[in-house]
Amino acid sequence: MSGIRNIPSLTVLFAWTFAGSLAYAGAQWTMIVLFAKLGNPAMVGQYSFAAAIAYPISLIANLQLRVVFVNDHEGRWPFRRLLGARYLLAALAWVTLPLICLCIRSSGRTTALIVLLGTSMLLDSLSESYYSLLQKSERMDRVGRSQMFKNPLCLAIAGITLYFTRDIVFAVGAALLGRLATLIFYDSAPETFRITSASPWGADAYALSGTFFARFRPQWSLRSQLEMIWIALPLGAVYVLSSFNMNIPRYVIERYLGPHELGIYSALSYLPFAAVLFASALGYVTFARLGRMFFEGDVPKFKWLLGRMVMIAAGLGILGFLVSAAAGKPILRILYRPEYAEHVDLLLWLVVVSGVACIANCMGVAMTAASQFRPQIPLFLVMGAVSALTAFALVPRIGLYGAALASLAAVTVQGVGGYGIVRRALKRRVASAAKDGRDSSLVADALVSES
């Protein structure tokens, strides 16, 4: 099918993407509120610990194949090969979940919670395949609609289940069903293929999208898929390391202070996390354009767009700090319980962490758009070492404040290191463009002299 690509404006795309991210953040945060209101901080801690285990493992299934697919300007990997690669990685991740539970000797209920939560996240990774097709066609508006539909649905099902059962395992299992329904009836629906069919990378997928099973059927080319996975591996490793690094303070809290204190820390950290999701939404919207600017050698526009992103991220951090300083205590008292309001100073530190994380997120998007995959691995290894050393040194001594300082140290390393990598990549791109220009000029002079 051919047609004219109807791409919404960048403002419209951002609005939809941010709305979807806001729906995601709101659902995650409201889930924490439900556990705090209907349960206790220990229940919040159990959920946060399970998420800290399951989320990094679920990233194995993502492996940032979406980035590789969107950045594939030569059409090396069609959509259905991406889908097959995703199935391979999802199977590997799902097998890894119970093995991790066995290694950490978790209880039966904790294992069930981790496996159910991890399976929900793996369903999201399958949705990522269809999001990849939409993002490459710059139709993030439909991705935003998916998030706005899925997350409130999962929250409603989980909330009703939690209200009647008071059981966190049943609540997480109910949310899993909501994710499955969204994947089947919206993300993989024929409309997803129709609106991307005008692009070269969407035409082949649209041809086989008529039946239910065809929309999930991969195209197997194991050599090509392993090549795709190999290219995505450095960036996937970076994202796994990033998630693991940011969860290191939670692991240390759970070990030294217990699930009650982890529940307090997690509940407070979800409030400023909304700013990070805003920055992530901005990154999703601008990523494809940044990638094209770098690919085409348009370094000035790349710098201009990245600069705008950093300014917005910094503004978010400042605004969040001012609001938290002025009204943090009553906000915590209303949203959670009075015992949470006693930790308003901790909230301020976590807001600072989120502000720096927003800027670091912009640098991460820029690194990825510039195809700087492998240099990120040593950066995130250093980040993890800083996070672990700081957390193990400070949490036993100053408690939750030590965890916040460990997170702050980690995101600072990420932001500064990311800036250095992006700056070096842009210098090389300018030099490469200048060399290409000189070579073209020499060829033209030779042709003129021959004539």
Domain extents in the chain:
10-437
429 is written with which tokens?
A: 């791109």
Q: Which among 367, 366, 347 has a CA at the least distance from the CA of 355?
A: 347
As a whole number of Å, the CA-based R_g of the chain is 23
Phi-psi map region of 399: left, alpha, beta (phi>0 left; psi -120 to 50 alpha):
left
Q: Which among 131, 141, 96, 143 has a CA at the least distance from the CA of 115?
A: 96
Q: Which residue has the tokens 């500064």?
A: 416
Residues near 214 by beta carbon (within 8 Å), at least 6 away in sequence: 208
* pLDDT digit string, tens, across residues 297-312: 888 999 999 999 999 9
**Residue 205 and residue 345 in contact, taking contact as beta carbons nearer than 8 Å:** no
Task: Give the span between the Cα atoms of 277 and 284, in whole angstroms.
Answer: 10
Residue 11 has pLDDT above 70, yes or no: no
**Eight-class DSSP state of 198:** T
Task: Give the span between the Cα atoms of 191 and 184, in whole angstroms.
Answer: 12
- At 135 the pLDDT is 79
Sign of the Cα torsion 184, 17, 69, 422 reads negative
Task: Give the span between the Cα atoms of 177 and 120, in whole angstroms.
Answer: 8
pTM of the full structure: 0.70
* pLDDT digit string, tens, across residues 197-206: 666 655 565 5
pLDDT band at 392 (very low <50, low <70, confident <90, very high): very high
Average pLDDT, the chain: 83
List, as own/partner pairs, every contact residues 416-419 make where C-beta atoms lie below 8 angstroms and the sequence separation is at least 24, other chains included: 417/379, 417/382, 417/383, 418/360, 418/363, 418/364, 418/366, 418/367, 418/376, 418/379, 419/363
Q: Which has more confidence, 337 or 439?
A: 337
Q: Where are the alpha helices (DSSP H) in 63-199?
A: 65-70, 79-104, 108-136, 140-165, 168-182, 190-194
